[in-house]
Structure 1
Amino acid sequence: MTCTDAATGTYEYTLTGLDSYPYFKVIGNDKYWNEAQSLKPYDEINLNDLEEDLLNTANNYVWTVTGVTGVYDAAGGKEWAAGIVGGAMNNFTYKRIGGQYKVTVKGLGIDPINNNFFPMDADKGIIYIKLDEIVPGAERIDVYVSDNGVKLGIPDGTSDFDRVGIDGGYLEKSFNIVNGSGAQISLNGSPRVAISGDDAADFTVTQTPMSVVPSGNQTTFKIKFAPTTAGVKSALATIQYDTTNNLIFNLTGRGAEKVANPAFSLSGGESNVYTTAQSVEITSATAGAIIRYTTDWTIPSKTNGTLYTGALSISQTTTIKAIAYIDDTYLDSDVVEILYYFSPVFAMVDVPSGIFNMNDNYLVELSAFKMGKYEVTYELWYEVKTWATANDYTFANSGGMGYGGGNTSSNPVTYVNWRDCIVWCNAYTEYYNLTNDPDLTPVYWSDSGFTTLLKKSTNTGSVDTTPGSEDKPYVKWSADGFRLPTEAEWEYAARYQDGSSWTPTNYMSGASADCDDTGACGKVAWYSANSGSRTHNVGTKKPNQFGIYDMSGNVYEWCWDWYGELQSGVMDPVGPDDGSYRLIRGGGWGGDANDCRVDCRFDYYPWDSDRQLGFRLVRR
């Protein structure tokens, strides 16, 4: 123990390495700690001789233990402190500042029975301090009385229940009674775990320990903390065993008011489709609440997100996540998420040329191309189809506005077969040319001279192998008109990160973790776990590295290729020359996470349509 006498008159004493387990007793009379008054800087004293009163009824004495502060107030009659179980006390600081004394203690346990702190069992060297109350924001580490090898085990390391909401909130913890003695013990208290103290009603035993614990074994019990009012709560749990022995430990927690959830001034959701910039205010009904928000799909917290200072202006589809908080005496609000959806504007994303291992096993090289930022929406499908049917085009299917109820025209088109899609691509190329320069050249033709456009699709239930037919059109691959992606193009765009790194095959496109991680999957895809068994507006999830949306989930997407063996060592592969089924990729709203992996391949008859099946465009 050393004493440093500062010029200000402050005395500081630090005790370390107390392997002799000193005896400290709180008597509560008028004596000062006389040894402290007589010490000089760097004096040493025999700790085993310390049995002096640390309290002076004429002054206040402050005790601090890892953030827990107690005050002895002679007028109020309060005397409290706190501690941490540990073998010997490893740090003890005593300060005299003006008329006050401050004591900082670490490594101490609690004896809730006596008004003292001393080793209850000298050969175990545990030191105890009485605890009647803790201040707001206190952090505690659990304590227990250990006797004859019988100990309390706490699986998560603490019996502090931390903050729990007072409006129906609760927290349950497990405890073990560990019998390290050489004989069987009997828990003969009634009840076996007795909870006492002013706040005992807030703590409930929800699982009772066994009545007998053989040597070398343990039994488990559970306690639930469910406060009904705000503030610090404490109680004592007593377990009587072998009639005369008690295992006693402290229960603490805080009943906390929850900060009111953030509220948004503007209605959101997929059904509210905006076309012009909007102003959004975020508020909380709790006075003094601080709000943070994110727009990058990360979770806001006290340390993450932008501090809200005023109305936000948004002009494109945006997901805002917000949280409201005050300080540690309150529970933070829930994280509230809202989508503001703006009508999607058709756009193509540039995809650079490159070489990659398709399905990690087939090396291919691709020329640069453009890919649709979104799956083709019902709105765009219907607009083009309406023009096309007035200009000699025929479609087997009228197309569906998504599927499942609550759908809008910004949902992907569904119920279109492969034949419909390639005919529609030709129609869109011509329709696009009406208002855009220079003209694009259509891709799919009925003759080898590329003079007669393919304009008709049917639902005939067999493959027509006639050259130039709806199942085997002549394809002008050099043309820059709209078309379906090849399977290689689809996977390349789905997995691309930087040209040398690629999204792993067991991930969804754009995901930060594999398909076993529901959180990562839910950020990028609508699939069976979150879709509600329906399609959703395109572009509402997080895009991949190219800024392309919904490449995993929402709807499966038709590709050009016949289903068959993949090719390796090929430039711009287009798949087998013929087959029975066409490729679909990406998974849909009804598929599980693995269906939405970037490497999953599926097939479908070219004449069939489905509620989960749509398409996406590419062009040169």
Structure 2
Amino acid sequence: MRRRLMLMLGLAFIAGVATSQSEGMWKMRVHRAGGSDEYLVAEVDSVTFYAVDTLIAPPMVLVPAGVFIMGDGVAWCGVDEHEVTLTRDFYLGQHEVTNQEYMEALQWAHDQGYVTATTTSVQDDLDGSTEELLDLDSEWCEIQFDGAGSFYLRESPSSHAQEAYPDGYDPSDHPVKEVSWYGAVRYCDWLSLQEGLPRAYEHSGDWACNGGDPYGAGGYRLPTDAEWEYAAQYDDERIYPWGNEVPDCSRANCWDFHGSGEACVGWTSPVGSYPDAPEALHLSDMAGNVYEMSNDWWVCDLGTIPEIDPTGPDVGSYRMFRGGGWADDFCMQCAARGCIGGPGASSVDFGFRIAQTAGQ
């Protein structure tokens, strides 16, 4: 839990300050990131100061071990069908990691000397790695760095964001974007370091997870390809996380090709804006909003031989991305496996959610 140092300013004190002035009212001006916000002191009930010295992992749900058919016979790179057995319960992030969650972790990592940052980029600085974790230079990135040691959030100045939210929006609960696969697994390791858990990922070579055994990792990690699909279709082999109905704007934030042919939102939406799907696990945005990175290297055809706790190829050029994003309706099926990205790539609709093996 976060350790908080709290300073409470009582109403009596505030009233005393306000009434001590014969004319006008006191205002409080808070400065940060080159701007300022003003508040009427008389309207403030209390002020809480706290040090973010301990990170809190996003909420997670328990997914029980089980057996399922991976692939559905028709989805992109999901034509092959085979039985997969997952022998370990695991936890999966209830929602995609948000800008606020990532920024707090990033600030902690920067303060610890685990990353280096400029106003245009965040790079890894552990184990000799210098991989880019977050592209701050993109107009689509809602996390920024002031050049003096502090990260902050902003509304994206892009036309997509401005048209989607003409009256403005709060980016804190939107999924983090412009983060690379390296930046996603780095976030997992920051959480592990905070909790005294072993880091799951190597930060050199092929960045293997727990020496190639992600299911045995003690720390936080990305879900394997099999874990993601198993959770998305839990537990009735459904085509989409919400069932068998085609995507539309009531079910996911995507580009509604099957309906109006227009964007549902035109930008990301706050996590959890749509009904949980699959409802049995209370997971949100498993399809739509942002593509979600998995632990595995990408391969299209998985074959038909049954597998136990599969880990995907040992090497590759691309990482598997799942679930589709706000800018299209591709890869929305639980079994769709054709959406990929290089581990150093970032985009306006690339994001992730975390996982952890239970009982480790």
**Is the Cα–Cα contact under 8 Å of residues 443 and 476 in structure 1 kept in the other structure?**
no
Distance in 2 between residues matched to 1:476 and 1:579, nearest whole Å: 16
Out of 549, 552, 565, which is 2:284 matched to?
549
2:295 aligned with 1:563: no
Q: Partner of 1:414: helix, strand, or coil?
A: coil
Q: Partner of 2:102: helix, strand, or coil?
A: helix
Distance in 1 between residues matched to 2:95 and 2:326, nearest whole Å: 15
Distance in 1 between residues matched to 2:175 and 2:312, nearest whole Å: 26
Query: In the alignment, which residue of structure 2 is the partner of 1:349?
Result: 61
Counterpart of 1:408, as a letter, is P
Distance in 1 between residues matched to 2:206 and 2:315, nearest whole Å: 13
Q: Could you give the per-residue CA deviations for residues 238-295 of structure 1, whole angstroms, max 9, x where no partner exists?
A: xxxxxxxxxxxxxxxxxxxxxxxxxxxxxxxxxxxxxxxxxxxxxxxxxxxxxxxxxx
Give, in angstroms, the shift of residue 523 of structure 1.
3.0
Query: In the alignment, which residue of structure 2 is the partner of 1:362?
Result: 82
Counterpart of 2:225, as a letter, is E
**Is the Cα–Cα contact under 8 Å of residues 133 and 184 in structure 2 kept in the other structure?**
no
Q: Partner of 1:398: helix, strand, or coil?
A: strand
Give, in angstroms, the shift of residue 359 of structure 1.
0.7
Distance in 1 between residues matched to 2:58 and 2:314, nearest whole Å: 32
In the TM superposition, 1:424-435 aligns within 5 A as 424-431=187-194, 433=195
**Is the Cα–Cα contact under 8 Å of residues 430 and 442 in structure 1 kept in the other structure?**
yes
Query: In the alignment, which residue of structure 1 is the partner of 2:93?
Result: 372
In the TM superposition, 1:456-475 aligns within 5 A as 468-469=204-205, 471-472=207-208, 474-475=211-212
Distance in 2 between residues matched to 1:580 and 1:586, nearest whole Å: 20
Counterpart of 1:522, as a letter, is C
Out of 304, 309, 313, which is 1:576 matched to?
313
TM-score normalized with structure 2 length: 0.62
2:220 aligned with 1:482: yes
Give, in angstroms, the shift of residue 430 of structure 1.
1.5
Q: Could you give the per-residue CA deviations for residues 175-199 of structure 1, whole angstroms, max 9, x where no partner exists?
A: xxxxxxxxxxxxxxxxxxxxxxxxx
Distance in 1 between residues matched to 2:57 and 2:92, nearest whole Å: 14
Distance in 2 between residues matched to 1:534 and 1:422, nearest whole Å: 24
**Is the Cα–Cα contact under 8 Å of residues 365 and 571 in structure 1 kept in the other structure?**
yes
**Is the Cα–Cα contact under 8 Å of residues 398 and 416 in structure 1 kept in the other structure?**
yes
**Is the Cα–Cα contact under 8 Å of residues 429 and 441 in structure 1 kept in the other structure?**
yes
Counterpart of 1:443, as a letter, is A
Distance in 1 between residues matched to 2:270 and 2:327, nearest whole Å: 15
Q: Partner of 1:357: helix, strand, or coil?
A: strand
Distance in 2 between residues matched to 1:379 and 1:596, nearest whole Å: 26
**Is the Cα–Cα contact under 8 Å of residues 429 and 481 in structure 1 kept in the other structure?**
yes
Distance in 2 between residues matched to 1:383 and 1:552, nearest whole Å: 25
Q: Partner of 1:421: helix, strand, or coil?
A: helix
Question: Structure 1, unaligned stretches of length 5 or more?
Answer: 1-343, 434-438, 446-453, 455-467
**Is the Cα–Cα contact under 8 Å of residues 471 and 606 in structure 1 kept in the other structure?**
no
**Is the Cα–Cα contact under 8 Å of residues 509 and 524 in structure 1 kept in the other structure?**
no
**Is the Cα–Cα contact under 8 Å of residues 444 and 476 in structure 1 kept in the other structure?**
no
Out of 155, 161, 181, which is 1:418 matched to?
181
Out of 242, 253, 264, which is 1:531 matched to?
264
Distance in 1 between residues matched to 2:67 and 2:322, nearest whole Å: 20
Give, in angstroms, the shift of residue 510 of structure 1.
1.7
Counterpart of 1:599, as a letter, is A
Query: In the alignment, which residue of structure 2 is the partner of 1:493?
Result: 231
Query: In the alignment, which residue of structure 1 is the partner of 2:241?
Result: 509
Distance in 1 between residues matched to 2:331 and 2:70, nearest whole Å: 17
Q: Partner of 1:409: helix, strand, or coil?
A: helix
Query: In the alignment, which residue of structure 2 is the partner of 1:615?
Result: 352
Query: In the alignment, which residue of structure 2 is the partner of 1:444?
Result: 201
Q: Could you give the per-residue CA deviations for residues 573-616 of structure 1, whole angstroms, max 9, x where no partner exists?
A: 11001111110000000012x43121222111111100000001
Question: Higher relative contact order at CA 8 Å, sep ≥6: structure 1 or structure 2?
Answer: 2
**Is the Cα–Cα contact under 8 Å of residues 355 and 364 in structure 1 kept in the other structure?**
yes
**Residues 407, 587 of structure 1: CA spacing in aligned structure 2 closer, same or farther, 3 A cutoff?**
farther
TM-score normalized with structure 1 length: 0.37
How many residues in Structure 1 have an aligned counterpart in Structure 2? 238
Larger Rg: 1
Q: Partner of 2:172: helix, strand, or coil?
A: coil
Query: In the alignment, which residue of structure 2 is the partner of 1:44?
Result: none
Distance in 2 between residues matched to 1:398 and 1:614, nearest whole Å: 11
% of aligned pairs identical?
32
Give, in angstroms, the shift of residue 412 of structure 1.
0.2
Distance in 2 between residues matched to 1:575 and 1:476, nearest whole Å: 11
Q: Partner of 2:320: helix, strand, or coil?
A: strand
Q: Could you give the per-residue CA deviations for residues 411-433 of structure 1, whole angstroms, max 9, x where no partner exists?
A: 000001111111221012122x1
- State the superposition RMSD in angstroms: 2.2
Q: Could you give the per-residue CA deviations for residues 441-487 of structure 1, whole angstroms, max 9, x where no partner exists?
A: 32113xxxxxxxx3xxxxxxxxxxxxx42544635531231101111
In the TM superposition, 1:243-258 aligns within 5 A as none
Query: In the alignment, which residue of structure 1 is the partner of 2:105?
Result: 384
Q: Partner of 1:413: helix, strand, or coil?
A: coil
Give, in angstroms, the shift of residue 524 of structure 1.
2.7
Distance in 2 between residues matched to 1:475 and 1:442, nearest whole Å: 13
In the TM superposition, 1:114-263 aligns within 5 A as none
Counterpart of 1:598, as a letter, is C
Give, in angstroms, the shift of residue 532 of structure 1.
2.6
| Between structures 1 and 2, the one with greater strand share | 1
| Between structures 1 and 2, the one with greater helix share | 2
Distance in 2 between residues matched to 1:444 and 1:479, nearest whole Å: 9
Query: In the alignment, which residue of structure 1 is the partner of 2:335?
Result: 599
Q: Partner of 2:331: helix, strand, or coil?
A: helix
Distance in 1 between residues matched to 2:227 and 2:332, nearest whole Å: 17
Query: In the alignment, which residue of structure 2 is the partner of 1:321?
Result: none
